[in-house]
């Protein structure tokens, strides 16, 4: 399969039958390839080169990069701008949209603009509360939440209409995604919530960090019972922990991350904690790949991005496939 | 704090029945409401509604009430205004990501829904809020919906 046919900015490629976007991620997932995405943390800078530097680290190991939208409620370069820069080099970008900072008017405008520059996938998030970040004094917007956001974007795409009903001349051809957190209470409600997201329009799912395979298995069993794995592609969130101390810090400060004591103990008891964290991540990828209904992994390696290539290579999940990157075909 | 509304959610089945009965009574008053005029009725009814629902459920009077579909818990007490289920930030003890002292609204809502006769309504998708309806009576809106009376100038009040 050639991956060169991702649309260049400003060009509209014809859609393949049954596809909603011309993007690489949708093609791979529909072709049944185990897909790898990674989180790109936008720079605190106005220099586009810093975006390219971050992107190049993932060359040849990931199929698309998520441009986060003020993640953890911290201020960084906007996700739409990061995507615009990535699209200049024909990288495949998943634009994250959070409901914390913008209302329905702002978001719809951003989505049209993003589609115009060749963004083919959008991840719809509610977003962390402002208390989690560096501007706790800010006004939280939350005009929408992930599910109403999904429904709104699906309407823009499938009915060519704004939420107001006003006509859009060329609809945004986007593959819609949502997050899921199988690890936090109320656990019995989590599969129902996923079903609602899929009903509202989610076509792919990226989960919160998985450090507890047993809990994920219970969740996925329920998801498969409900037939949800046939309606959306599920990518499980993974990532290396730098040390037991870092893991403890994440547990306390990053909303929604569940790290069992056993993982922290294992890290603490190791002579090389960073190496052990990477090993845990590789094992996790290999284990989740065996679970029914899992279509790929989403790697979040904040401040350890340089490990991603090794992690993907050593876990051998790509089975010899090399994801497209600029320059892959140069001799 | 939160004790009355949590108590109410633990008795969601009872309040569901009371609510359904009350709704039937209100609906039967439709001819009277129509005679007086829904627009004129909205303010006084909303005031009573605020008092009753505010006391029992801590409701925020968004004007698009979901109590019956959300375990007799008002989702507008969620700091993120989540109307379709819990965010991913719920703490492992079931408390809110943003207000650590408050049990997550959706943990209570889901528990409440499990007690209700029509608890599976929690699986339905709630549309986004129409912020113009803030403060208006959702009781009267429900009666109007049942009786096919058009909205007053779209937004009531
Ligand atoms: S933890 Fe519960 S109450 Fe708090 S913001 Fe999330 S969904 Fe709302």
In a domain, B15, yes or no: yes
State the smallest CA–CA distance between residue B49 and chain A in angstroms. Answer: 24
Domain ranges of chain A: 25-315
CA-closest residue to ligand 1 atom 7: B86
CB contact under 8 A, B83 and A148: yes
Pocket test for ligand 1, best of B60, B96, B110 (most atoms within 8 A of CB): B96
In a domain, B152, yes or no: no
* Rounded distance between C-alpha atoms, residue A85 and residue A70, angstroms: 17
Distance B104 CA to ligand 1 centre (A): 5
Q: Give DSSP secondary structure letters for A262-326.
A: HHHHHHHT-SSHHHHHHHHHHHHHHHHHTSTTEEEEEE--TT-GGGHHHHHHHHTTTTT-----T
- Level-2 CATH architecture, domain A25-315: Alpha-Beta Barrel (3.20)
Pairs of residues, one from chain A and one from chain B, whose beta carbons lie less than 8 Å apart = 101
CB contact under 8 A, A145 and B83: yes
Give, for all 331 residues of chain A, the pLDDT tens digit.
Answer: 444 444 444 455 678 899 999 999 999 999 999 999 999 999 999 999 999 999 999 999 999 999 999 999 999 999 999 999 999 999 999 999 999 999 999 999 999 999 999 999 999 999 999 999 999 999 999 999 999 999 999 999 999 999 999 999 999 999 999 999 999 999 999 999 999 999 999 999 999 999 999 999 999 999 999 999 999 999 999 999 999 999 999 999 899 999 999 999 999 999 999 999 999 999 999 999 999 999 999 999 999 999 999 999 999 999 989 999 998 887 7
Q: For residue range B38-95, list pLDDT tens digits in order.
A: 999 999 999 999 999 999 999 999 999 999 999 999 999 999 999 999 999 999 999 9
Distance A147 CA to ligand 1 centre (A): 14
Query: Domains in chain B: how many in total?
Result: 1
CB contact under 8 A, B125 and A145: no
Instruction: Compare all CA atoms of chain A with the CA of B120 and give the residue at the minimum distance.
Output: A192
Instruction: Compare all CA atoms of chain A with the CA of B107 and give the residue at the minimum distance.
Output: A186
What are the phi and psi torsion angles at A235 (to 5°)? Answer: -110, 130
Question: Beta strands A294-299 and A233-238: pairing type?
Answer: parallel
CA-closest residue to ligand 1 atom 8: B78
Which residue in A178, A188, A197 sits closest to A225, CA to CA?
Answer: A188
What per-residue confidence (pLDDT) applies to A15? 86
**Measured between beta carbons, which residues in chain B are less than 8 angstroms from residue A199?**
125
Distance B89 CA to ligand 1 centre (A): 7
In a domain, B153, yes or no: no
CA-closest residue to ligand 1 atom 4: B96
Which residue in B92, B62, B94 sits closest to B77, CA to CA?
Answer: B62
Q: For residue range A72-99, list pLDDT tens digits in order.
A: 999 999 999 999 999 999 999 999 999 9
CB contact under 8 A, B127 and A143: no
* Rounded distance between C-alpha atoms, residue B157 and residue B40, angstroms: 8
Element (H, E) at B146: helix B138-147
Give the relative orientation of helices B3-10 and B105-115 as an angle to the nearest 10 degrees.
Answer: 30
From the alpha carbon of B90, which atom of ligand 1 is closest?
1
Whether this model's ipTM surpasses 0.90 comes out as yes
In a domain, B157, yes or no: no
Instruction: Compare all CA atoms of chain A with the CA of B97 and give the residue at the minimum distance.
Output: A255
In a domain, B133, yes or no: yes
What per-residue confidence (pLDDT) applies to A4? 46
Residues of chain B numbered 61-90 and touching chain A (CB < 8 Å)? 79-90
Which residue in B102, B115, B24, B26 sits closest to B70, CA to CA?
Answer: B115
**Measured between beta carbons, which residues in chain B are less than 8 angstroms from residue A208?**
88
What per-residue confidence (pLDDT) applies to A304? 96
Distance A54 CA to ligand 1 centre (A): 33
* Rounded distance between C-alpha atoms, residue A157 and residue A112, angstroms: 10
Distance A134 CA to ligand 1 centre (A): 20
* Rounded distance between C-alpha atoms, residue A19 and residue A181, angstroms: 26
Which residue in A47, A229, A186, A230 sits closest to B111, CA to CA?
Answer: A186
Going by the DSSP 8-state scheme, the letter that residue A257 receives in this structure is -
Q: How far, CA to CA in Å, does A172 sit from each of A15, A16, A154, A159? A: 12, 15, 9, 10
What per-residue confidence (pLDDT) applies to A14? 74
Is pLDDT above 60 for B125? yes
Query: Please, what's the largest Cα pairwise distance for chain B?
Result: 53
**Measured between beta carbons, which residues in chain A are less than 8 angstroms from residue B127?**
148, 151
Q: Give DSSP secondary structure letters for B38-101.
A: HHHHHHHHHHHHHHHHHHHH-----SS--GGGTTT--GGGSTT--SSS--TT--TTSB-SS-TT
Which residues face B95 on adjacent strands?
A: B103
Q: Is A17 exposed, middle or buried (0-12, 13-18, 19+ CB in 10 A)?
A: exposed
Q: Give DSSP secondary structure letters for A124-184.
A: EE----GGGSS-TTSPP--SS-HHHHHHHHHHHHHH-B-TTS-B-SS----EEEEEE-TTS
Buried b (16+ CB within 10 A) or exposed e, A160-189: eebbeeeeeeebbbbbbbbbbbbbbbbeeb
Q: Is B131 on the interface with A (CB under 8 A)?
A: yes
B36 is in which domain, residue-wise? 2-147
Q: How many CA atoms lie within 13 A of A230 on its CB side?
A: 4
* Rounded distance between C-alpha atoms, residue B117 and residue B153, angstroms: 35
What per-residue confidence (pLDDT) applies to A293? 98
* Rounded distance between C-alpha atoms, residue A28 and residue A60, angstroms: 15
* Rounded distance between C-alpha atoms, residue A65 and residue A52, angstroms: 12
What per-residue confidence (pLDDT) applies to B48? 95
Is pLDDT above 60 for B155? no
Question: Beta strands A233-238 and A121-125: pairing type?
Answer: unpaired
């Amino acid at each position: 399969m050639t991956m060169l046919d991702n649309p260049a900015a400003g060009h509209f490629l014809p859609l393949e039958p049954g596809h909603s976007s011309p993007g690489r991620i949708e093609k791979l997932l529909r072709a049944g390839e185990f897909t790898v995405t990674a989180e790109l943390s936008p720079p605190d800078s106005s220099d586009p080169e810093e975006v390219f530097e971050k992107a190049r680290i993932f060359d040849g190991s990931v199929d698309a990069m998520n441009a986060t939208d003020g993640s953890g409620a911290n201020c960084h370069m906007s996700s739409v701008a990061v995507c615009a820069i990535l699209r200049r080099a024909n990288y495949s970008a998943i634009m994250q949209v959070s409901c914390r900072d913008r209302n329905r008017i702002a978001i719809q405008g951003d989505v049209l603009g993003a589609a115009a520059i060749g963004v083919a996938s959008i991840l719809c998030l509610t977003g962390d509360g402002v208390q989690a970040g560096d501007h706790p004094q800010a006004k939280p917007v939350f005009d929408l939440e992930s599910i109403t956001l999904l429904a709104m974007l699906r309407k823009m795409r499938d009915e060519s209409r704004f939420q107001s009903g006003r006509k859009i001349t060329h609809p945004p051809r986007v593959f819609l995604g949502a997050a899921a957190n199988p690890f936090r209470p109320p656990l019995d409600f989590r599969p129902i919530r996923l079903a609602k997201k899929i009903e509202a329009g989610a076509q792919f799912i990226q989960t919160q960090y998985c450090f507890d395979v047993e809990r994920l298995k219970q969740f996925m069993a329920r998801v498969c019972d409900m037939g949800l794995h046939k309606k959306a592609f599920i990518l499980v969130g993974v990532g290396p922990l730098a040390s037991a101390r870092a893991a403890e810090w994440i547990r306390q400060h990053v909303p929604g991350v569940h790290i069992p004591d056993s993982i922290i103990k294992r890290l603490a008891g190791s002579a090389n904690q960073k190496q052990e964290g990477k090993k845990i991540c590789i094992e996790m990828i290999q284990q989740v790949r065996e679970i029914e209904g899992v279509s790929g992994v989403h790697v979040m390696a904040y401040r350890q991005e340089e490990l991603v290539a090794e992690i993907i290579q050593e876990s051998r999940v790509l089975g010899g496939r090399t994801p497209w990157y600029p320059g892959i075909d140069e001799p | 704090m939160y004790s009355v509304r949590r108590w109410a959610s633990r008795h969601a089945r009872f309040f569901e029945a009371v609510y359904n009965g009350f709704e039937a009574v209100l609906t039967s008053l439709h001819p009277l409401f129509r005679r007086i005029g829904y627009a004129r009725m909205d303010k006084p009814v909303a005031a009573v509604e605020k008092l009753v629902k505010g006391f029992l459920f801590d409701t925020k009077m968004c004007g698009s009430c979901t109590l019956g579909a959300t375990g007799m818990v008002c989702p507008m007490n969620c700091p993120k205004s989540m109307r379709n289920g819990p965010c991913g930030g719920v703490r492992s003890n079931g408390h809110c990501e943003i207000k650590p002292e408050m049990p997550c609204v959706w943990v209570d809502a889901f528990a409440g829904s499990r007690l209700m006769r029509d608890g599976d309504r929690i699986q339905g998708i709630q549309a986004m809020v129409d912020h113009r309806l803030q403060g208006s009576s959702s009781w009267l809106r429900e009666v109007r919906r049942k009786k096919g009376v058009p909205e007053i100038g779209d937004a009531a009040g």
